[in-house]
Structure 1
């Protein structure tokens, strides 16, 4: 398995059904472009996209499977949702590790244990708060990410949650990954200075619709 190295820029290559780039072929090309630009790893959703990306790059892939409730636990919500992601070529599995109840009624620790024991890959816990990050580490997560900060309480800020990165990096004995609303080199430097082991960037690189909309709004 390919490990996520310290100081890595991870590019999240995802496009939803309403995006013209929504296809494994497009995401594979996006991953190739990200790799050519210096990305050290890729984050991708679903076995089809992951398999297409694995066919064109040897970079580590953080795999997710968005199969849950979009209003609740959505990202890789069960052990079963992780199986195809790993089979497609993911080196790590990322999952929702908020304190919300899981759809199958199982504990976060049980899901992480099965992924470790039966799939043999590390787990990246996507959290929204310090308490969730501490609980995820106690449950066996190998890395903790700020992915869901600002998306579970109805008050989404405009920039990255630098303070949560700092709190997690201070309290945890595992790598902390910064993700969420990171758009500029200054944002990257800020989260790294706060203690981020690696940084994930998505829309600011791989979503032309979002980039265009923000720039068009400034006209």
Structure 2
């Protein structure tokens, strides 16, 4: 067990990301978000794109899970490989300072392509690999291909995986039963108790993004609930 993985055990990773057009878009903002996450007690960060990762690296000494999202107006999140699709994108975020490279290891890419990509990243860059998967089969395969950490990130983001508003605790439990790799629980975590349940299900670490670092969506969540309340009150006057 390497020291990096030990640092993440039983801890919270905070995902600091903002897309173009969002209020917090920009490397300076992500660096500040990373600093805030560290002050709050995070044990690691997840960052997207080289410039953001470089800025985050200058601000904190926390381990960074790096990703490189490739998207345009035609991208279908259920169909397309978005997260670190190529060795070249992996190399860019590694050179920017990522301590862990996360990549899409779903069956939207052939098993052979996934195996070759993991092998090349680990041998040429000598860096820890996190496999973002959506099903038990994908997680088992990624572990066999050499991924160090298996992450539930893409559960619900493939047409064939579990679709739910709740985190996929069952997938965590299934992975723990089948493989020895550390499991990163990620996806749809909104409440502290959901995080605790993930650890109770066997997670090694938990990654949370939107619920912490996207204030426009946090605000919308409260406003949506308020609108439900106001509608109910109006109907029962």
Q: Same fold (TM over 0.5)?
A: yes
Aligned Cα root-mean-square deviation (Å): 1.7
2:184 pairs with 172, 177, 187, which one? 177
Structure 2 Cα separation of the partners of residues 128 and 176 of structure 1: 13
SS in 2 for 1:10: strand
Q: In the alignment, does 2:169 pair up with 1:162?
A: yes
Question: What is the CA deviation profile of residues 115-145 of structure 1, one whole-angstrom value per residue up to 9, with x for unaligned ones?
Answer: 1111110100000000010111111111100
Alignment gaps of 5+ in structure 2: 227-237
Cα deviation for residue 196 of structure 1 reads: 0.1
- 8 Å CA contact 1:127–1:147 kept in 2: the answer is yes
Alignment gaps of 5+ in structure 1: none
Structure 1 Cα separation of the partners of residues 137 and 21 of structure 2: 34
Runs of at least 4 residues off by over 3 Å: 68-71
Cα deviation for residue 44 of structure 1 reads: 0.4
Question: What is the CA deviation profile of residues 30-76 of structure 1, one whole-angstrom value per residue up to 9, with x for unaligned ones?
Answer: 00000000000000000000000000110000000012654311100
- 8 Å CA contact 1:165–1:194 kept in 2: the answer is yes
1:99 pairs with 107, 113, 137, which one? 107
Structure 1 Cα separation of the partners of residues 4 and 109 of structure 2: 30
2:19 pairs with 16, 38, 49, which one? 16
Q: In the alignment, does 2:145 pair up with 1:142?
A: no
Question: What is the CA deviation profile of residues 144-172 of structure 1, one whole-angstrom value per residue up to 9, with x for unaligned ones?
Answer: 00000011118741110000011011111
In structure 2, relative to structure 1, the CA distance for the partners of 1:106 and 1:79 (3 Å cut) is: farther
Structure 2 Cα separation of the partners of residues 8 and 67 of structure 1: 28
How does 1:38-117 map onto structure 2 within 5 Å? 38-67=41-70, 69-71=75-77, 72-101=80-109, 107-117=113-123
Structure (1 or 2) with the larger CA radius of gyration: 2
Structure 2 Cα separation of the partners of residues 198 and 106 of structure 1: 28
Cα deviation for residue 106 of structure 1 reads: 6.1
- 8 Å CA contact 1:2–1:60 kept in 2: the answer is no
Q: Choose between structure 1 and 2: higher helix proportion.
A: 2
- 8 Å CA contact 1:142–1:175 kept in 2: the answer is yes
Number of equivalences: 217
